[in-house]
Structure 1
Amino acid sequence: MHNLYSRFNNLTALLSSCMMALLAAIALSSLVLTADPKGEVHITSVKVIPRKHASKKQDLAFVNFNITADLTPLFHWNTKQLFLTLEAEYTNTQGVKNEVVIWDRIVRRKEDAVVSVLGKNKYMFREVSASFKNVPPAHYALKYNVMPYVGALTYGEAGRTREPVAFPPRKSHV
């Protein structure tokens, strides 16, 4: 009645349908499992230094910070890894809102999810308009991105500076 090819086709169609239903259930359940991690961000110092780059003067900001956060609630059975960023959020003199990543880290295991970092910016922090002069103070935020095995990426914020941190007057060229 049914040949071998027809039976194999029916079996693989059933198995692939079951697999897709299982993956959809996993993806939906990871959206339901939400956590609220807690962290603190403290900026210890900000220095602004002028630098000549490609015949253009541009200010560079060097930020020293202290981050403490417990991100273990974000790890569950569907969490592959976390991507952490420290972002400086400010509005420049032209009124453009900027969110600049100045530090990042990948956390792959729950055992490493308690973060305590005393460091400085990993990436160059410069103002596109060439100067931090008259730029309003910046907020600094510790943000995370949960990368699951299956499902949508989720984003959130674990900590933020309580008060905005002002850019000091620039030092003389080193």
Structure 2
Amino acid sequence: MHSIVSRVNNVSALLSSCMMALLAAIALSSFVFTADPKGDISIASVKVYPTNARRYPHRKQDMAFVNFNISADLTPLFNWNTKQLFLYLEAEYNNTKGVQNEVVIWDRIVRRKEDANINVVGKNKYMFRDVSHKFKNVPPAHYSLKYNVMPYVGVLTYGEAGRTTEPVEFPPAQPRVS
């Protein structure tokens, strides 16, 4: 009849086929669970200071510091297939040459549903500077709270939880007082 190796091969092929079908069903079921989380963003202040560029100390470059308040309920995004959320605050603006810029200025990883109620009063975590070295004559920026749902199995899902209603102006650069 069949050898023991042949039988083990047939059983493992059947089990791996069943496992792949189960994983495909789990991945497809993540499209069924859609959530619409709500968040609120308010920008307390934006300050621009001239600093020295990193590679060229003789060249000045403007750096923006943003103070913000975030409150969001992201618990609807958690289900049995959610591993973690990547949450980030993004500034969207056009520079003086008309190029669309999207800059991440703050982020957080949320791993548990219990930590999904976000209330943050803070400032930007990452340097916020423009390629043109100046924020002078740059149109106002919109700020948005975006998320990325990372499932155990399936496709990454991106979305937006909140956005500022009014664009926020960049003030003129202030000299730093030491």
Per the normalisation by structure 1, the TM-score is 0.99
The reply on whether 1:103 has 2:106 as its aligned counterpart is yes
Within 2, Cα distance between the matches of 1:40 and 1:133?
28
State the Cα distance separating 1:32 from its structure 2 match: 1.8
Matches within 5 A, 1:1-174: 1-53=1-53, 54=56, 55-174=58-177
Q: Name the SS for the 2:31 alignment partner.
A: helix
CA distance in 1, matches of 2:76, 2:139: 35
User: What does the per-residue CA deviation read over 1:92-150, in whole Å, with 9 as the maximum and x for residues that have no partner?
Assistant: 00111000000000000000000000000000000110100000000000000000000
Where structure 1 has 5 or more consecutive residues not aligned to the other structure, the ranges are none
Shift of 1:52: 1.5
Q: Percent identity?
A: 76
Structure 1 runs, 4 residues or longer, greater than 3 Å off: none
| 1:65 partner SS | strand
Displacement of 1:172 in angstroms is: 1.2
What's the RMSD between the two structures over aligned residues?
0.7
* C-alpha separation in 1, matches of 2:59 and 2:26: 52
Deviations 1:27-46 (A, max 9, x none): 01012211000000000000
1:161 Cα offset (Å): 0.3
Flag structure 2 segments of 5+ consecutive residues without an equivalent: none
